[in-house]
């Protein structure tokens, strides 16, 4: 990428910049929108735009009073302006926020940029002046893979307490940025600079200060990433602060040939093999926590963990409640963990019988869970893992082609059977319909009204005084 990349911004955003300029104020787009335009991860109306200006909040409101405004956060120095369908957040320059949460304003653009966590988020731009990049953010975006580099990573060289330094590490003043840095890395679009890695490990304990909501949001972003396994393994010391229960799994030898690594490494690998569905990835993250508590060895020294699924479910529920997840999310994660050892056969008929027991999405999730667990084990289990993957595809096909696996999908119902005089009452009808469903599960093409009525009549003729006719 060239040192001076070219970017285009929507006319609506340019209109707002020009209006501020017309009132003799400086104004720039800044932050995520600039980063995404430079890196090519977004364009035009798909990006959320932020503008910073040396105008005071009340002046911003007055200048844009002809537009649709949201001034709920004007006490924080921000006004949301909507122009032809595009909402743009316009903020006054700020150095930061005081102890009471009130903004500390400044007339210096660089002071505003300095308070941002990462260099690539501290790039300002307008079409008149081009890029303002005091911390080398463009350079961090210049390769195929961006570099996460914090502003102020060279900290504590004076020996002063962190809070007294002129420019403390963002990981000190805003601990949530630790998880944000790992989220960028997990996305696969960025790597972390050595200095930033050192700072992350140094300040990892500050994660304890992150609010429940921010913790849940940012950690979930990490888990969705393409490189989540690499991040979890490389920064396991950070995640042990977040979830101390991981200490149970670290260096724990499962003593089984299918596991080529300790329990924690197996866990982190399994998360990466899971589809990027949060419920599934959280289930993989917690699925082995109960193994150390349930561990035993047989006379041959082989490890066993009888009852670990239920024990792991208890751990998972406790952690998710601690992190503030909803009851629905917690229930689904715990369901997968509790049923991780449930018997799953691989023929199509058995799949349809399973679909009678649980919703399709649950069954697919359980199969995907099993796939990820097997993939993270020895290569000897590759065949079984791929069988699980094929079964997910089979479930999708069953659903899309509307193959019958429940009574209500049959081409006849109890009223049809009673109206035709095939059965005498609802109890007989239910028994016959169950028999018909078994036939249709074996032969989907059999699910037609004519065939099923004929089969029902045959069932009743051959019952010969059985319980069906009693």
Q: What is the CATH number of the domain that holds 8?
A: 3.30.460.10
Domain assignment of residue 285, yes or no: yes
Domain assignment of residue 466, yes or no: no
Domain residues for the domain of 163 are 145-242
Say whether both 285 and 358 belong to one domain.
yes
Residue 30: is it exposed, middle or buried by C-beta count within 10 angstroms (0-12/13-18/19+)? buried
Taking the C-alpha atoms of residue 66 and residue 45, their distance in angstroms, rounded to an integer, is: 22
Say whether both 230 and 286 belong to one domain.
no
Say whether both 152 and 31 belong to one domain.
no
Domain assignment of residue 415, yes or no: yes
Say whether both 83 and 5 belong to one domain.
yes
Say whether both 123 and 210 belong to one domain.
no
Domain assignment of residue 95, yes or no: yes
Say whether both 56 and 104 belong to one domain.
yes
Domain assignment of residue 468, yes or no: no
Sign, CA dihedral 90-93-97-101, equals negative
Would you state the structure tokens that stand for residue 95, as one six-digit string? 């150095």
Taking the C-alpha atoms of residue 136 and residue 119, their distance in angstroms, rounded to an integer, is: 6
Q: What is the CATH number of the domain that holds 213?
A: 1.10.110.30
Say whether both 396 and 452 belong to one domain.
no
3-state SS string for the chain: CCCCCCCCCCHHHHHHHHHHHHCCCCEEEECHHHHHHHHCCCCHHHCCEEEEECCCHHHHHHHCCCCEEECCCHHHCEEEEEECCEEEEEEECEEEECCCCCEEECCCHHHHHHCCCEHHHCCEEECCCEEECCCCHHHHCCCCCEEECECCCCCCCCCCCHHHCCCCCHHHHCCHHHHHHHHHHHHCCEEECHHHHHHHHHCHHHHHHCCHHHHHHHHHHHHHCCCHHHHHHHCHHHHHHHCHHHHHCCCCCCCCCCCCCCHHHHHHHHHHHCCCCHHHHHHHHHCCCCCHHHCEECCCCCEECCCHHHHHHHHHHHHHHHCCCCHHHHHHHHHHHHCCCCCCCCCHHHHHHHHHHCCHHHHHHHHHHHHHHHHCCCHHHHHHHHHHHHHHHHHHHHHHCCCCCCHHHCCCCHHHHHHCCCCCCHHHHHHHHHHHHHHHHHCHHHCCHHHHHHHHHHHHHCCCCCCCCC
Say whether both 357 and 231 belong to one domain.
no
Domain assignment of residue 178, yes or no: yes
The tally of domains found in the chain comes to 4
421-437 tens-digit pLDDT: 999 899 999 999 999 99
258-273 tens-digit pLDDT: 888 899 999 999 999 9
Q: What is the CATH number of the domain that holds 298?
A: 1.10.3210
pTM to 2 decimal places: 0.86
According to the model, what pLDDT value does residue 167 have? 56
According to the model, what pLDDT value does residue 461 have? 87
According to the model, what pLDDT value does residue 157 have? 32
According to the model, what pLDDT value does residue 12 have? 94
Domain boundary (83, 107, 136) is at 136
Q: Contact, 281 vs 228, CB < 8 A?
A: yes
According to the model, what pLDDT value does residue 229 have? 97
Q: What is the CA 385 to chain-centroid distance, rounded? A: 23
Taking the C-alpha atoms of residue 426 and residue 414, their distance in angstroms, rounded to an integer, is: 7
- Mean pLDDT, 10 residues at a time, the chain of 470 residues: 76 96 97 92 74 97 96 96 94 90 93 93 96 94 91 48 57 92 96 95 94 94 97 97 95 89 94 97 97 94 94 97 95 96 83 91 95 92 92 95 94 93 91 94 93 93 59
Domain assignment of residue 469, yes or no: no
Domain assignment of residue 467, yes or no: no
Say whether both 237 and 257 belong to one domain.
no
Domain boundary (88, 103, 136) is at 136
Domain boundary (378, 400, 422) is at 400
**Angle, nearest 10°, between helix axes 449-461 and 426-442?**
120
Say whether both 90 and 104 belong to one domain.
yes
Say whether both 328 and 425 belong to one domain.
no
Say whether both 30 and 20 belong to one domain.
yes
According to the model, what pLDDT value does residue 44 have? 55
């Amino acid at each position: 990428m060239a040192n001076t990349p070219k970017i285009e911004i929507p006319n609506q955003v340019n209109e707002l910049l020009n209006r501020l300029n017309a009132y003799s104020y400086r104004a720039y787009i800044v932050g995520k929108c600039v980063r995404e335009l430079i890196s090519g991860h977004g364009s035009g109306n798909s990006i959320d735009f932020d503008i910073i200006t040396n105008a005071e909040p009340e002046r911003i409101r007055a200048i844009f009073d002809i537009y649709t405004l949201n001034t709920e956060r004007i006490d924080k120095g921000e006004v949301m302006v909507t122009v032809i369908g595009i909402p743009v957040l316009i903020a006054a320059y700020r150095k930061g926020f005081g102890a009471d949460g009130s903004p500390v304003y400044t007339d210096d653009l660089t002071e505003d940029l300095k308070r941002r966590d990462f260099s690539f988020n501290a790039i300002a731009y307008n079409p008149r002046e081009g890029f303002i990049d005091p911390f080398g953010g463009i350079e961090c975006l210049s390769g195929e893979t961006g570099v996460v580099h914090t502003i102020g990573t060279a900290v504590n060289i004076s020996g002063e307490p962190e809070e007294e330094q002129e420019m403390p590490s963002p990981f000190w003043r805003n601990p949530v940025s630790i998880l944000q840095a790992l989220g960028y890395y997990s996305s696969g679009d960025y790597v972390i600079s050595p200095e930033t890695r050192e700072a992350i490990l140094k300040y990892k304990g500050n994660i304890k200060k992150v609010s429940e909501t921010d913790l849940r949001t940012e950690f979930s972003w990490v888990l969705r990433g393409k490189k989540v396994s690499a991040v979890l393994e490389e920064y396991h010391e950070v995640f042990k602060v977040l979830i101390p229960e991981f200490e149970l799994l670290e260096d724990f030898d499962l003593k089984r040939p299918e596991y080529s690594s300790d329990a924690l490494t197996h866990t982190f690998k399994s998360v990466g093999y899971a589809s990027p569905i949060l419920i599934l990835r959280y289930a993989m993250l917690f699925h082995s926590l109960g193994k150390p508590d349930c561990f035993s060895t047989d006379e041959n020294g082989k490890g066993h963990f009888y009852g670990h699924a239920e024990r792991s479910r208890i751990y998972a529920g406790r952690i998710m409640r601690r992190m503030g997840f909803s009851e629905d999310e917690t229930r689904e994660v715990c369901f997968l963990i509790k049923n991780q050892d449930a018997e799953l056969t691989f023929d199509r008929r058995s799949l349809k019988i399973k679909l009678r027991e649980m919703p399709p999405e649950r069954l697919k999730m359980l199969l995907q869970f099993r796939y990820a667990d097997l993939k993270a084990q020895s290569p000897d289990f590759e065949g079984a893992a791929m069988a699980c993957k094929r079964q997910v595809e089979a479930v999708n096909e069953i659903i899309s082609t509307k193959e019958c696996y429940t009574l209500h999908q049959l081409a006849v119902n109890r009223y049809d059977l009673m109206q035709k005089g095939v059965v005498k009452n609802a109890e007989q009808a239910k028994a016959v319909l169950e028999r018909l469903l078994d036939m249709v599960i074996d032969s989907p093409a059999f699910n037609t009204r004519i065939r099923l009525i004929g089969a029902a009549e045959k069932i009743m003729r051959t019952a010969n005084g059985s319980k069906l006719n009693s």
